[in-house]
Amino acid sequence: MRDRFFGLTPRPAADEKRPGRLSPEQLQLATAGLELGGGILVFAAIGYGLDRLLGTWPVLLVTFALLGLAGGLYRLIKAVQPPDK
C-alpha cells in the first residue's frame, strides 16, 4: 500500500505500536464525547419539533437541550471515572 507522501510507506519499529491506532481508553473517551454532542442535538431536535407542534417556542427547545446536556455530561463523567474495584 502506498502512502500519499511521495509514494513512501513508513515502517514502524518492531516494538512500536502501529501509528494511527487508538487505545481502547481513547476510543471510550471519543465515544463519550460524541454521545455528549449527539445527546444535545437529538434532544434539541425533539424540543424543536414539540415547540413547533405545540406553539411554545422556545421553551421546550431549551428544556430538552438542557436535558440532553445533562445526560451527555453524566455519560461523559461515567466514562472518565476509573472502574470500581
Q: Output the pLDDT for position 7.
A: 60
Q: Are 37 and 72 in contact (CB under 8 A)?
A: yes
Largest Cα–Cα separation, the chain: 64
Q: What is the pLDDT of residue 18?
A: 62
- The reported pLDDT for the residue numbered 82 is 80
User: 83: which DSSP letter?
Assistant: P
What's the mean per-residue pLDDT of the chain?
A: 83
Q: Does the reported pTM lie above 0.75?
A: no
Q: What is the pLDDT of residues 45-54, one digit of tens each?
A: 999 999 999 9
Burial of 61 (0-12, 13-18, 19+ CB in 10 A): buried
